[in-house]
């Protein structure tokens, strides 16, 4: 029995059916036509195989997309067009590329050794360094290009020859079910060439382990997690392939005075209750080396924030600075001399309640509550 029927018709579902509908339809039909339920019936066996084939295709998003566009031609002889119906796609990867573009690999890969790996280096710097910018020297252990063979992997004076396994393509193909699968050649590891006489220094790798000293320029305004890329300073690629990059990840050391949020610097300044009551001035040393005078208005409350414009961190790769924010914490004295206690007692005798309106309002509401309860 030949069942060259549309997959959706086989499963008795619409072309817009979701995964749940597909699965439900498949289970129902599979139970109906399963060979164990229809012993000796060749038609049921053929239909069961066709249903399984249809579901196996449509449950896979990539296979389904190819089928929706090209039908069963997508899975015949390595690609669409094998029966004269259109352009010849070399393998199913080309079909997916034509449907999805770069989302599935960004185009055809070139043969040859792979680019070297990118490396990561974590660096801790002070907040002062982030403010002014700085230059640091670091040492990293990398797989660097072999000087003996200049990265080719071959002994000086010798040459490579084309790989006989892949014919110099760097990849081999194998049929797997509906698909023609392409893999990196196991003999040449994608290079397309084989080294007959490897370099004695790098043993054919084209690279050796080495410690490098590098200079890193850190611009003003960097923050926790800022990433600096040093192009070409990662691992060298095998057999002369392009090197990877080195990424410097910056971390801020804890500062003894300031905390940071973006370009804003925060600090907390305890002041005496007399300064809070009468007003005054405090001096904060800035990361710019300047003395910043912070005026304390009379009657300031604990927790109030005072802002000094332009005294914060510089804008990374931009102009200007953020702000310095000083949070005032009013400190109650814990050790008083006899004279100070006498003066405070004299002050308390002169209090009318108007000096502290928030306190007066709070206790006024308490009095009203008690009056309501006793009525």
Q: Give CA–CA dist 345/284, Å, rounded.
A: 34
Q: Is 134 annotated as a binding residue?
A: no
Q: Is 185 annotated as a binding residue?
A: yes
| Cβ neighbour number for residue 236 with a 10 Å cutoff | 26
Torsion angle of alpha carbons 87, 89, 95, 101, nearest 10°?
Answer: -90
Q: Is 57 annotated as a binding residue?
A: no
CB of 78 closer than 8 Å to CB of 92: yes
Best CA proximity match to 33, nearest among 10, 14, 13: 10
Q: Give CA–CA dist 364/150, Å, rounded.
A: 88
Q: Where are the beta strands (DSSP E) in the chain?
A: 119-125, 134-145, 160-162, 171-176, 179-184, 193-195, 207-218, 227-230, 246-252, 259-261, 264-272, 280-285, 291-296, 305-308, 324-331
Q: Is 356 annotated as a binding residue?
A: no
Q: Which long-range contacts (CB under 8 A, 24 or more apart) does 184-190 make?
A: 187/163, 188/163, 189/113, 189/238, 190/111, 190/112, 190/113, 190/114
Q: Is 202 annotated as a binding residue?
A: yes
Phi then psi for 327, rounded to 5 degrees? -95, 125
**Exposed, middle or buried: residue 184 (CB in 10 Å: 0-12, 13-18, 19+)?**
middle
Q: Is 146 annotated as a binding residue?
A: yes
Q: Is 41 annotated as a binding residue?
A: no
Residues that constitute the known binding site: 146, 149, 163, 166, 185, 188, 199, 202
- Binding site feature residues for Zn(2+): 146, 149, 163, 166, 185, 188, 199, 202
């Amino acid at each position: 029995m030949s069942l060259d029927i549309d997959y959706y018709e086989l499963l008795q579902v619409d072309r817009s059916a979701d995964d749940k509908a597909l699965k439900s339809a498949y289970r129902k039909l599979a139970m109906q036509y399963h060979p164990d339920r229809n012993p000796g019936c060749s038609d049921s066996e053929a239909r069961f195989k066709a249903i399984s084939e249809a579901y196996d295709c449509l449950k896979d998003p990539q296979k389904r997309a190819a089928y929706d566009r090209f039908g069963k031609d997508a899975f015949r002889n390595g690609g669409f067009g094998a029966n004269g119906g259109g352009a010849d796609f070399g393998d199913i990867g080309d079909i997916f590329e034509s449907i999805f573009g770069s989302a599935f690999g960004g185009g055809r890969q070139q043969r040859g050794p792979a680019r070297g790996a990118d490396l990561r280096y974590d660096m801790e710097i002070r907040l002062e360094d982030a403010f002014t910018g700085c230059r640091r020297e670091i040492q990293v252990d990398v797989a660097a290009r072999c000087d003996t063979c200049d990265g080719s992997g071959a002994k000086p004076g010798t040459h490579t020859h084309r790989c006989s396994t892949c014919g110099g393509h760097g990849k081999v193909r194998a049929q797997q079910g509906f698909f023609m699968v392409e893999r990196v050649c196991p003999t040449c590891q994608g290079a397309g060439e084989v080294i007959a006489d490897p370099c004695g220094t790098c043993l054919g790798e084209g690279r050796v382990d080495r410690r490098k000293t590098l200079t890193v320029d850190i611009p003003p305004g960097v923050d926790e997690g800022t990433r600096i890329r040093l192009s070409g300073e990662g691992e060298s690629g095998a057999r002369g392939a392009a090197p990877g990059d080195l990424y410097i990840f910056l971390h801020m050391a804890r500062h003894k005075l300031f905390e940071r949020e973006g370009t804003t610097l925060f600090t907390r300044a305890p002041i005496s209750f007399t300064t809070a009551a009468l007003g005054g001035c405090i001096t904060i040393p800035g990361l710019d080396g300047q003395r910043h005078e912070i005026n304390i208005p009379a009657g300031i409350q604990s927790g109030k924030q005072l802002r000094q414009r332009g005294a914060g961190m510089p804008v990374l790769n931009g102009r200007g600075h953020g702000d310095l924010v000083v949070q005032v914490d009013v400190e109650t004295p814990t050790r008083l001399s006899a004279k100070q206690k006498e003066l405070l007692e004299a002050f308390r005798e002169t209090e009318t309640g108007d000096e502290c309106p928030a306190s007066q309002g709070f206790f006024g509401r308490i009095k009203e509550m008690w009056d309501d309860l006793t009525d």
